[in-house]
Amino acid sequence: MTSTDTARVVHGPKRPGTPALEARGLTKHFPVHGGLRRGRVVRAVEDVSLALPEGTVTAVVGESGSGKSTLSRLLTRLIAPTAGELLLDGEPVGDSARARRGYAGQVHLVLQDPFSSLNAVHSIRYHLQRPLKLHHGLRGSELDARAAELLERVSLTPAERYLDKFPHELSGGQRQRVAIARGLAVQPRVLLADEPVSMLDVSIRLGVLNLLDELRERERLAILYVTHDIASARYLADTVVVMYAGQIVESGPAVQVTDEPAHPYTRLLLSAAPDPQRREPVLLRGRGAPPSLIDPPSGCRFHPRCPLAMPVCAETAPPVRPAAGDQVAACWLLDPERAPGTTPA
Amino acid sequence: MRTLLRRLGFYLLAGFAAVTLNFFLARLLPGSALQNALAKLRGANLDPDAIRALEAQYGTGGDHSLLSQYLTYLSSLLHGDLGLSTSQSAPVSSILGDTLPWTLGLVGTATALAFVIGTLAGIVVGWKRNGLLDGLLPAVTFFQSVPYFILAFLVMMTLGYFGGFFPYQNGYDIGRHAHLTPGWNGPFVTSVIEHGTLPALTVVLASLAGWVIGMRNMMITTMDEDYVLVAAAKGLPQWRVAAVAARNAILPTISNFALSISLVVTGSLVTEIVFTYPGVGWQIYQAILTGDYPLLQGILLVVVFTVLAVNLVADLAYVALDPRARKEA
Amino acid sequence: MRALRSPKVLAGSVLLLLLLLLAVVGPLIAPHSADWQADRTSGLPLAPSGRFWLGTDQQQHDLFSRLLSGGRDTLLISFLAGMFACLLSVVVGVTAGFVGGLVDDLLSALANIFLALPGLLILMVIMKPLPPSETSNPLLIGSVIALTAWAWGARVLRAQTLALRAADYVEAARVIGERTWRIILFEVVPNLLPILASAFIFTVIYGIGTYTALAWLGVISPASVTWGTVLNEAQSSGAAVNGYWWWYLPPALAVALVGIALALVNFGIDEVINPRLTSARTGRARGVVFRLGLTPVLKTAAPEPAAAPSNPVPLKEAQP
Amino acid sequence: MTGEPVLEVRDLCVDYGVGKGGVRAVTDATLTLRRGEVLGLAGESGSGKSTLAYAVTRLLRAPGVITGGEVRFHGPDGVLDLLEADAATLRRIRWDQISVVFQSAMHALNPVARIDAQLTDALRAHRAQLGPAERRERAVELLRLVGIGEERLRSYPHELSGGMRQRVMIAMALALEPRVVIMDEPTTALDVVTQREILDELMQLKDRLGFAIVFITHDLSLLIELADTIAIMYAGRIVELADAQRLFHSPRHPYTLGLLNSFPALHGERVRMEGIPGAPPALTALPAGCAFHPRCPFALERCAHDVPRLTEPAEPDGAPADRSAACWLHTGGEQVPEPLARVLGSTL
């Protein structure tokens, strides 16, 4: 368990002022259904503190089961956290129905699969106008004008050609643009994107990523980009946050984390990632699969797979330590007392 | 184990619900019909003990509370006592004992035949996919969309009355010139089979389509699975590839069997009425004609328990056939 | 509406409309009223003739008139039963599927119990004591039949709702802050419509069978003549044994015809629900045989392949 | 590219549907797979890469129809055209000579059969002389080959993790020591670490057992690390075919170039990349001429109506090309844009 007596480290891009959205100690334990022993839980997300300042892209990287998708749903309030709190512009968010709707107008989530995130029975117009009606009370001709404008903002032009189409008449990339346009209709401060390009064809992925980057720039959105593709995280994000088994193990400026990873898990991910420039054969830094989150390993959750594990790793969870600059990692190797003479390279 | 226990719990609950419903149905019915029946019984020189028993059964005699009546009812059920038939002055259980074998023989055989033939045909039609057989499906649907007793009329008329291929009345030859002794003797058994043919054919025809179409659709769905293509890619003989698909496709079919068995049984009972077949169905008709509620309710209870038993067997078969279900268990 | 292009569906729809039309105008165009009797003295049914197209029954009612008049209540009640049952199954199925948890467990158990109960027998027990004034009320009879018919639809709808509840577009609707009732009504239910339509058709088939059976067995005696009551009179007069086929055959065929029309329409709905099950016909029509694991080879010079079945050439044992 | 050919595909054409409703999914595909080689087939969804592979094995599902070409398999008994072969011949060759690993092992393993049964059923069909004990021994051996313990023999697929299932699938494909293994996105559904582990094992097994691999994927960056030769497919045609390193460092087709520019790098300076404008066309509405021309930054006037054939490009240094591309830019006379005219220093 992460010790709570030490000062909490908030991950994410460092910017002056109040972040648009901040999560403090966000934790989610799902009850296990169907087990004979009651009270067992899946520790999907454990004590995550994350700040998303406006005009930044934060990438959350991890394997499946690392808790990154759960985190995005916690941040959208689609699921209720077991512990922790959310602050929107520094204010704790309320729990009333009104507060929830207000929150939905500030924080939006773009889902992974554009083929199923749009309802086949509704037109593009319907999809775009619902948030306009819900959050801005727009009526009549204003609706059409705004919907058309939204399509233009995601480069679906001329807009009239798309408004009356149905999802099945569009390509995957166009659908994902519509999904993003729907998010923009909300006029959110924060845009969460859960693997927004992984279902898309390779040649159109960059188009969608570049669109997100433009929105960050133009609309000053705080963007959270959830992905398993560390190369695209490096491409798009200001800050990369690496999750393993429900915990953040490393975070820092994107290029720094990918060029000089501090945590052995980040190094494992990088060594496994496809890299056409690789000359020498791959040396996989660690083996095995992520652990069960019902019964996670003691101490550092990565220690059973870690090639550099020390006795202390199995006993006590490592605290988050600075590595270099804004880069931090939760690893005993960064503790000068615990690992004298060993510096991760 | 857990899933199985859950299912078992469900069957207990369903059985209990049926028994309770049965109890209250009798009491919710407008009194007059029941009183009439009792009055008829009194006039029929029935043993006073029996009348008292009947009164107790319906709570019309003494001033027992509803709860105590209910408990009495439950305890007599547990002893296999289904009450007295008002029209036949005999215990319902003994009437059922006489007629149930006829129904079980007819409906059981017909349903089993229909299921086996239908499933096998569904496998073939699904596997051949584009064969001529597929074109026969609409024709098969004809039998599925016509109520059992209507189909029974049509079968009786075409093959029985006009065709003259089979007898279409009664369970065996009881005509004036017949000299049959019920029992395990050749002439009697032959007669029973002859008389059972048309009702059985009706039940088979009516329920066959459901199995054929269900199994065909499952075969086609399953054949789209990669593991069937893998079987073909392995160079296994055709029949082995088909077997892989069929083995997986049969699982939902078993669930469907359980779901539709109550419709099949009800339909079969009604078919008996058309053919004046001496089974439980015919007793239902008699009970309706004479307003014999104890008999009607006794039959209802037996049918419900039969259906539940078949469901339980189907559940067990499913768990036995699907390792994934076992794991959850 | 592409479903209408299928000849089966077209035939079914036309047949169904025709039958519905007959049910409406039947009593008006019938040569006689349903209760009209030809000759009160004769005790024998008359076979079909030029005067009585479908003959008469023992009471010398004109059976053709009775057939025309009998459809109205029969169809009205079975469609009412279908509607009520669908309403019930939507409420139960969608609630169970969408709410989940204990509510789902209870509603599913309830549906399963109703599936195991023999509906017709229960209806007999319930309806036998009802006076004719009540059994001729279509609304009452329709809803009582519906009580025994909703479980199947509820089960199917629940399963589908369960799948839809997890669909991304439902989650997306939550994300933009849609209210739950709106999500159910506008996101989930529209996607259930094909299944609902199919459930409706099956319930109507069940309804017509059940209602006719109840009348045939004399469990209910509606005030007006229906196909079921004609069958009931035929049954109690031993029409089958005595060979009065014109007495019971026409109403039986009429019921069968409604069932077939509905089943044909259902083919079209099936095509919408599961296109896979019907789509492979295209190739066969052109003489190409598709077999799993044996992709056909149609080598032609023409850019558009012509219709010619592949002839597997016997293997030439390859030369080294 | 030294080994002798095991599988030669010539002018293969595949349609979905027959007659008016049919669309061409693969057009004039020509490929050669050599012994012990990894041949990569890369392309986006709808490019025809999987269609091509399944058509070659005659495993393509309805309404797929092969409408032309030949597929010459060089087996132990000589050369055989798989498109002329009858069902019995195909059955004999399948798995024994050519096996397939599917994308999702979750779906490719029979959920109601145990692992050992699925490992040995092909042995039963093809090696009738083996007894039950020998088959079981072989199953254990195969599992060990992919790093799975004997105790998993009696497991059902749902009891295994995703990575383990894919390993079982690979073990299964190697059961009869085939000459060719066709792999359709075999690791796409897996996490990167598991993917890497399995690919490492696969390459070791390939070196040890000497089979050739046709590796289908949309992930070109992975393929470059993995494959000897790569064929890039677009809208049903092979648009470029070259040695992996040369394809990476000196692409000749604009689509290949665009594809390579669609994968952000793991190293170096962060630069804005553009990918490829537009979206891949639907097979039902292919542009005239070169199907890529509406998205191509270098499109010439003739690209809009003439379909380029796969030919050897004239190399800038005059060296023998030993590669091919289907692009009018390389047919001589045109000024080849710089990114498509690079020369890879070393000859491979």
Per-residue pLDDT tens digits for A16-71: 889 999 999 999 999 876 555 567 889 999 999 999 999 999 999 999 889 999 99
Structure tokens at C146: 């519906």
Strand order in the sheet with A21-31: A41-52, A21-31, A83-88, A91-92
- Coil, strand or helix: which one is A71? helix
Q: How far is CA A100 from the centre of its chain?
A: 21
Mean pLDDT of D107-120: 93
Contact D126 B235 (CB under 8 A): yes
Residues 196-255, chain A: which have Cβ within 8 Å of C? none
What is the per-residue pLDDT for D91?
92
Contact D90 C320 (CB under 8 A): no
Cα angle value B298/B302/B303 (rounded, 5°): 115
Residues 43-102, chain B: which have Cβ within 8 Å of C? none
Contact C293 B30 (CB under 8 A): no
Chains that contact A by 3+ CB pairs under 8 Å? B, C, D
Q: Which residues of B touch A32 (CB under 8 A)?
A: none
Kindly calculate the radius of gyration of chain C based on its CA atoms and give it in whole angstroms: 26
Structure tokens at A137: 């009370």
**Nearest neighbour of D18 by CB, restricted to C283, C295, C320:** C283
Q: Which residue has the higher pLDDT, C24 or A345?
A: C24
CB atoms within 10 A of CB C18: 12
Dist. CA C108–CA C101, nearest whole Å: 11
Of all residues in chain A, the one with the smallest CA distance to C189 is A121
Q: Provide DSSP, C50-65.
A: SSSTT-B-TT-BBHHH
Q: Whole-number mean pLDDT of chain B?
A: 79
The residue type found at C202 is: F
A85 forms beta bridges with A24
Dist. CA B257–CA C215, nearest whole Å: 29
Dist. CA A150–CA B77, nearest whole Å: 71
What is the per-residue pLDDT for B45?
58
Q: How far is CA C123 from the centre of its chain?
A: 19
- Outline where DSSP puts E strands in chain A: 21-31, 41-52, 56-61, 83-88, 91-92, 107-110, 190-194, 222-227, 239-244, 247-253, 320-324, 327-330
**Nearest neighbour of B10 by CB, restricted to C112, C213, C216:** C112
Least confident of A218-227, B149-158, D143-152: B149-158
pLDDT exceeds 80 at position B315: yes
Mean pLDDT of B24-49: 60
Least confident of B27-31, B88-92, B277-281, D134-138: B27-31
Contact C167 A116 (CB under 8 A): yes
What is the per-residue pLDDT for B50?
62
**Pair type for strands D212-217 and D180-184:** parallel
Helices B92-103 and B280-290, interaxial angle, to 10°?
Answer: 140
Q: Does C172 touch chain D (CB under 8 A)?
A: no
Of all residues in chain C, the one with the smallest CA distance to B225 is C292
What is the per-residue pLDDT for A171?
82
What is the per-residue pLDDT for C283?
45
Task: With cut-offs at 50, 70 and 90, classify the pLDDT of residue D347.
Answer: very low
pLDDT exceeds 50 at position A259: yes
Residue pair A200/A173 in contact (Cβ under 8 Å)? The answer is yes
Q: Could you give the C-alpha distances from C16 to C20, C30, C196, D159, in angstroms and in order?
A: 6, 20, 18, 51
pLDDT exceeds 90 at position B150: no
Residue pair B53/B260 in contact (Cβ under 8 Å)? The answer is no
Residue pair C228/C211 in contact (Cβ under 8 Å)? The answer is yes
Q: Whole-number mean pLDDT of chain A?
A: 87
Structure tokens at D94: 């399948």
What is the per-residue pLDDT for A34?
56
Q: What percent of chain B stands above pLDDT 90? A: 11
**Nearest neighbour of B138 by CB, restricted to C8, C245, C281:** C8
Dist. CA A48–CA C94, nearest whole Å: 36
The residue type found at D296 is: C
What is the per-residue pLDDT for C5?
64
Contact B241 C248 (CB under 8 A): no
Q: A10, A23, A48, A3: which is closest to A318 by C-alpha?
A: A3
What is the per-residue pLDDT for D140?
94
Contact D18 C300 (CB under 8 A): no
CB atoms within 10 A of CB B265: 25
pLDDT exceeds 50 at position B185: yes
Least confident of A75-84, A283-292, B274-283: A283-292
Contact A182 C168 (CB under 8 A): no
ipTM: 0.86
Q: Which residue has the higher pLDDT, C36 or B311?
A: B311
Residue C56 CA neighbour count, 13 Å, CB half:
22
Q: What percent of chain A stands above pLDDT 70? A: 94
Sign of CA dihedral C306, C308, C312, C314: negative
Q: A90, A86, A66, A61: which is closest to A76 by C-alpha?
A: A86
Dist. CA B141–CA C256, nearest whole Å: 11
From B307's Cα to the closest Cα of chain D, the distance in A is 28
What is the per-residue pLDDT for D6?
95
What is the per-residue pLDDT for C305?
39
Mean pLDDT of A252-271: 93
What is the per-residue pLDDT for A4?
41
From the number of C-beta atoms within 10 Å of its C-beta (0-12, 13-18, 19+), residue B77 rates as: middle
Mean pLDDT of B63-84: 75
Containing H/E element for D80? strand D78-81
The residue type found at B173 is: D
Q: D98, D25, D7: which is closest to D66 by C-alpha?
A: D25
| DSSP letter, residue C297 | B
pLDDT exceeds 60 at position A261: yes
Residue pair A257/A242 in contact (Cβ under 8 Å)? The answer is yes
pLDDT exceeds 70 at position B54: no
What is the per-residue pLDDT for B56?
58
How many residue pairs bridge chain C and chain D with CB atoms within 8 Å of each other? 87
Q: D217, D214, D128: which is closest to D176 by C-alpha?
A: D128
Mean pLDDT of B219-239: 92
What is the per-residue pLDDT for B38?
59
Dist. CA D153–CA A275, nearest whole Å: 35
Q: B165, B274, B260, B279: which is closest to B208 by C-alpha?
A: B260
Interface test with D, best of A203, A214, A239 (most D CBs within 10 A): A203
pLDDT exceeds 90 at position B260: no
**Nearest neighbour of D259 by CB, restricted to A203, A274, A289:** A203
The residue type found at B125 is: V
Least confident of A183-187, A300-304, B67-71, B265-269: B67-71
Q: Which residues of B touch A34 (CB under 8 A)?
A: 2, 328
Low-confidence ranges of chain C (pLDDT < 70): 1-5, 30, 34-42, 46, 50-56, 239-240, 275-286, 300-320
pLDDT exceeds 90 at position D255: yes
Q: Whole-number mean pLDDT of chain D?
A: 90
Q: Which residue has the higher pLDDT, B144 or A44?
A: A44
Q: D161, D163, D162, D136: which is closest to D150 by C-alpha?
A: D136
